[in-house]
Amino acid sequence: MVTNTDVKELGHFINGEIVLGKSGQYSNVYNPSTGAIIARVPLATKEEVQEAISAAKNAFPAWRALSVGKRAEIVLKFRQLLTERMDTLIDMICTESGKTTEDAKGEITRGLESVDLAINAPHLLKGEYSVNVGGNINAYSAKDPLGVVAAISPFNFPVMVPLAITSMAVAVGNCVILKPSERVPCSALFLSELWKEAGLPDGVWTVINGDKDTVNELLSNPTIEAISFVGSTPVADMIYATGSKYGKRVTALGGGKNNMVIMPDADLEQAANAFLGAAYGAASQRCMAISTIMPVGEETANQLVKILAEKISKLKVGPYTDPEVDFGPVITQQSKDTIIGYVDRSVEEGATLVCDGRNPDISKNSNGFYLGPTLLDNVKPGMEIYEQEVFGPARNVVRVESLDEAIALINAHELGNGVTIFTNSGAAARKFTSEIEVGMVGVNVPIPIPVGYHNFGGWKRSKFGEGHMFGPDQVRFFTKTKTISEKWLDQNNESASSFAFPSNNS
C-alpha cells in the first residue's frame, strides 16, 4: 500500500449540498493503479441516514406535483451536462476504479441510455382510458410515484449502474437516495453536482456514504418505499429478504457465471477475439463478463485453446494512463489475493493452467493491484472456480461433447445472468435460445447486455424481485397504479339504490 499526503476528505450530498461526515469513521479510497490512498469517505451514522431520508421526504410533495414535462426538462439538462463533463468523469472513474479510458467512456455511454429512457417519462407515464365501460362510467388509470426510494450501487460501474437504477426513479417523480460503494464514491458525488446544476430541487437527489449500517437503516426505515440493488448474489439475497420483510419493493441483482458456447461450425478466430474482450475487459469485474468458454467437441476445444493461449499472451495489463493497455488492476489488494486463491485451488483440483496471470511483470515495479489474464483448461463442474463467481481475470475452459450437454450444465448452475452462443447454424441458435434458462442471451454477441430501453436482469439466483436494472419495467417498479372509475350524474334523472355487485350490463 502506498500512502498519499494529498488525501481528499469527502462528504455526503444531503438537501442540495455537500456535508462532512459526523461519525468520525472513514473508509479509505484507493487508486487501484498505484495503490495510493486518494480520499477518505465518511461512514454515515444512523442519525445521518435519517436526516438524509427526512430531507428527501420533505422534498417529495413539491417534486411529485411538478409536471412530468418539467421533470423531463431537468433530466435532459442533466444529460447535457454529463456529455459536456464527460472527460472529467472519465478521469474520475479511471482514478478510483482502475478502468481504462476507453472502458470508462463506454460505461458512461451505456449509462446515458438509461437517462435517455428517463427523458421519455411523459410518454411512459401515460395511463389507460376506457369510455363508457358501463352505465356511462369512464375508467382510467394513473401512475403515481412511490415517494422516497433508495439505490445501492457496486464498485465496478461507478457511473453506469447509478444512472441505470436512479434516472427513471427521478423522472417519474420520486426522491432518490443513492448509497454508492465506499470504494468509488467520487463519481457519485460528481453526479450530485451535475443534478444540482441541472436544476433538480434540493432533497430530490441524495448521496449518503456508508457501510452495512447505512444499508440496514435504508432497508428498515419506514419512509423508504423501494430498494434497487446491484452487487453479489449473497448480498442481493440478504437485501431482498430484509427489504421484503419491511414491506418494501425490492429489485436485487446479484452475480453471474456467464458462459460462451462455441459450436464446431463457428469461426474460431472471431470467437476467440470476442471472448478476450468479454472475459478480460475491466479486469473481468463485470457481472456480465464471460467466466467460462464451452467449446463443443474435442477438436474444437483443442484448436480454440491453442488460439486463445497465443492471443492471451499478447494482452497487456497496466494503468489507464498507458493507452496501449487492454485492462487495468482489480479494485483492491484483498480482491487480488482472493482471485489468486481461486487459481491456486483450481490447479490443486486438477485444472490445467494454460496462461498464468498471478504475477504480471508490472507488479515488480508497481504497488497497483494488478493481475494478468489467467486461463484454466479442463475445468469441471464441482470445482470451486466453476461454481463461484470470480470477480477477476481468471477464466475457464469447460469442454463438452454436445450442445445438449452445454445447455444442461448451464441450466444446472444456480446463477443465470447472461450466456451466449457462437455458431453459424440457425437451428443450433434456435435450440439454444429456446432451451436455455438464463435471463440475457446472445447469439454471436459476446456480452448480451440489452440496450437501455430493454429490460436488464438475470434469472435464478442472479436476480431477486420482479424489477429490472433498466428498461420499461423500471416505470412499473418506481410507480404505483391508481385506477379511477368516473361518472357524471344527470341531475334530471333520479336513480334508485342498487344492492347488486357493480357490473357492465348497462
Residues catalogued as catalytic: 287
List residues bridging with 259 in a β-sheet. 292, 419
- Are 160 and 108 spatial neighbours (Cβ–Cβ below 8 Å)? yes
How far are the Cα atoms of 63, 122, 141, 170, 447 from residue 117, in angstroms, in the given order? 19, 10, 22, 12, 21
- Are 228 and 248 spatial neighbours (Cβ–Cβ below 8 Å)? no
The whole-angstrom separation of Cα 145 and Cα 129 is: 19
The SS3 of residue 285 is coil
Question: What residue has cell string 441510455?
Answer: 113
- Phi and psi for 56 in degrees, rounded to 5? -65, -40
Distance separating the N- and C-terminal Cα atoms of the chain: 78
In the DSSP assignment, the letter for residue 256 is: -
The whole-angstrom separation of Cα 68 and Cα 119 is: 10
What HEC string does 371-437 produce? Answer: CCCEEEECCCCCCHHHHCCCCCCEEEECCECCHHHHHHHHHHCCEECEEEEECCCHHHHHHHHHHCC
The whole-angstrom separation of Cα 287 and Cα 162 is: 15
Question: What is the distance, to the nearest Å, from the Cα of residue 381 to the centroid of all Cα atoms in its chain?
Answer: 27
- The upper half-sphere exposure of residue 200, i.e. CA atoms within 13 Å in the direction of its Cβ, equals 32
The whole-angstrom separation of Cα 396 and Cα 362 is: 23
